[in-house]
Structure 1
Amino acid sequence: MILLIQNIEDYNNDFRVSLQAFYGGERIIVPEIFEKKPELKREVDKVFAADIREQSIEIKMYAGTLEDDGKAELAEAVIDAVISGEKPDEAPVCSNRVDIDGDSRDKAVVRNPLKLAIYEMLSAYTGRTLPWGSLTGIRPTKIAVAQIEDGEDRESVISNYINVYGTSRAKAELAFDVAGREKMIIDSVAEEDEYCLYIGIPFCPTRCLYCSFTSYPIAVYKDKVEAYLDALEKEMEYVAEAYSRKKLISIYIGGGTPSSISAENMDRLCGMIERAFDLSYVREFTIEAGRPDSTTYDKLAVMKKHGVTRISINPQTMNEQTLRTIGRAHTPDQTREAMEMARRVGFDNINMDLIVGLPGEDTDAVENTLRQIRELAPESLTVHTLAVKRAATLNIEMDRYKDLLKNDIESQLDAVTRAADDMGLSPYYLYRQKNMTGNLENVGYSKEGLECLYNILIMEERTDIVGLGAGSSSKLVVRPGHDGVTEGTRIDRIENCKSVDDYISRIDEMIARKKAGFIWD
Structure 2
Amino acid sequence: MICLIQNVEDYNNDLRVILMAFYMGVKIITPENIEKKPELGADVAATLVAEFAEGQTKIWMKDGGLDVKSEGASEDKQQDWSAREVCGKPDIVIDQDYHDRKIFRNVLKRAMYRMLSERTGRVLPWGSLTGVRPVKIAMEAVERGCTDEEIQKLYQETYVASREKAEACVKIARREKAIIETIDERNEYCLYIGIPFCPTRCLYCSFTSYPIGVYKDKVDAYLDTMEKEMEYIAESYTEKKLASIYIGGGTPSSISAEQMDRLCSMIEKHFDLSQVREYTIEAGRPDSTTADKLQVMKAHGVDRISINPQTMNGETLKLIGRAHTPEQAEEAFMRAREAGFDNINMDLIVGLPGEDAEMVKRTLEKVKKLAPESLTVHTLAIKRAAHLKQEMDKYSFAGDVDEQLSLVGQAAEELGLAPYYLYRQKNMAGNLENVGYARHGLECLYNILIMEERTDIIGIGAGSSSKLIRREGDLDPVTGETITGNRIDRVENCKSVDDYIARIDEMIDRKKQAFAK
TM-score tier after normalising by the smaller chain length: over 0.9
The reply on whether 1:21 has 2:21 as its aligned counterpart is yes
1:269 aligns with 2:263: yes
CA distance in 2, matches of 1:79, 1:399: 34
Query: Residues 437 and 259 (structure 1 numbering): CA distance in 2 closer, same or farther, change over 3 Å?
Result: same
Letter paired with 1:437: A
Q: Which runs of 5+ in 1 are unaligned?
A: 65-73
Aligned position for 1:252 = 246
Match of 2:487 in 1: 490
1:197-276 correspondence runs (5 A): 197-276=191-270
Match of 2:75 in 1: none
Cα separation, 1, equivalents of 2:390 and 2:228: 37
Comparing 509-518 with 258-267, greater Cα deviation is found at: 509-518
Deviation at 1:32, TM superposition (A): 2.4
1:162–1:168 Cα contact (<8 Å) kept: yes
Contact 1:266 1:303 in 2 (8 A): yes
Match for residue 364 of structure 1? 358
Shift of 1:171: 0.5
Take 1:485 and 1:357, find their aligned partners in 2: how far apart are those partners?
47
Letter in 1 for 2:38: P
User: 3-state DSSP class of the match of 1:444?
Assistant: strand
Are positions 1:337 and 2:327 aligned together?
Answer: no
1:195–1:248 Cα contact (<8 Å) kept? yes
* Deviates further, 499-508 or 437-446: 499-508
2:512 maps to 515
* Matches of 2:85 and 2:27, distance apart in 1: 23
Write the distance in 2 (CA, Å) between the matches of 1:269 and 1:59: 56
Question: Does structure 2 retain, via aligned residues, the 8 Å contact 1:478–1:485?
Answer: no
Q: Hey, what does 1:95 align to over in structure 2?
A: 91
Percent sequence identity over aligned pairs: 64
Matched, 1:418 2:410: yes
The secondary structure found in structure 1 opposite 2:91 is strand
> Helix, strand or coil for the counterpart of 2:204?
coil
Q: Which residue pairs with 1:70 in the alignment?
A: none
Equivalent residue runs for 1:9-408 within 5 Å? 9-64=9-64, 74=65, 76=67, 84-88=81-85, 91=88, 95-100=91-96, 103-401=97-395, 404-408=396-400
- Indicate if the aligned counterparts of 1:429 and 1:444 stay in contact, CA closer than 8 A: yes
Residue 477 in structure 1 maps to residue 469 in structure 2: yes
Deviation at 1:87, TM superposition (A): 3.4
For residues 436-476 of structure 1, the C-alpha deviation after alignment (integer angstroms, 9 at most, x for no partner) is 00100000000000000000000011111100000101111
SS at match of 2:10: helix
Q: Residue 440 of structure 1 is aligned with which of 416, 429, 432?
A: 432
Q: Deviations over 1:282-313 (max 9, x none)?
A: 00000000111000110000000000010000
Structure-2 separation of matches of 1:164 and 1:331: 45
Cα deviation, residue 487, structure 1: 3.9
TM-score, normalisation: structure 2 = 0.95
Tell me, in whole angstroms, the C-alpha distance in 2 between the residues paired with 1:7 and 1:274.
57
1:500 to 497, 501, 511: 497
Partner of 2:441: 449
Whether contact under 8 Å (2:47, 2:66) holds in the other structure is no
Count of aligned residue pairs for this structure pair: 506
Cα distance in 1 for partners of 2:191, 2:81 equals: 53
Structure 2: runs of 5+ lacking an equivalent: 73-78
Show the counterpart of 1:68. Answer: none
Amino acid aligned to 2:104: V
Distance in 2 (alpha carbons) for counterparts of 1:489 and 1:4? 33
CA contact (8 A) 1:209 1:394 kept: yes
CA distance in 1, matches of 2:202, 2:39: 36
Alpha-carbon shift at residue 75 of structure 1 (Å): 5.6
- Write the deviation string for residues 31-71 of structure 1: whole angstroms up to 9, x where unpaired: 2233322332222221111111222222111113xxxxxxx
Contact kept in structure 1, 2:468 and 2:488, CA below 8 Å = yes
Per-residue CA deviations over 1:223-249 (Å, capped at 9, x if unaligned) read: 100000000000000000011111110
Distance (whole Å) between structure 2 residues aligned to residue 87 and residue 432 of structure 1: 37
- Mapped contact 1:432–1:442 kept (Cα < 8 A): yes
Does the C-alpha gap of structure 1 residues 57 and 164 become closer, same or farther in structure 2, counting only changes over 3 Å?
A: same
CA contact (8 A) 2:470 2:483 kept: no
Letter in 1 for 2:406: D
Of residues 411, 416, 429, the one that matches 2:421 is 429
Post-superposition Cα deviations, 1:324-354, rounded to whole Å, max 9, x if no partner, equal 1111111111111111111111100000000
TM normalised by structure 1 equals 0.94
Maintained 8 Å contact 2:68/2:81: no
Q: Amino acid of the residue matched to residue 408 of structure 2?
A: V
2: CA distance, partners of 1:185 / 1:143: 17
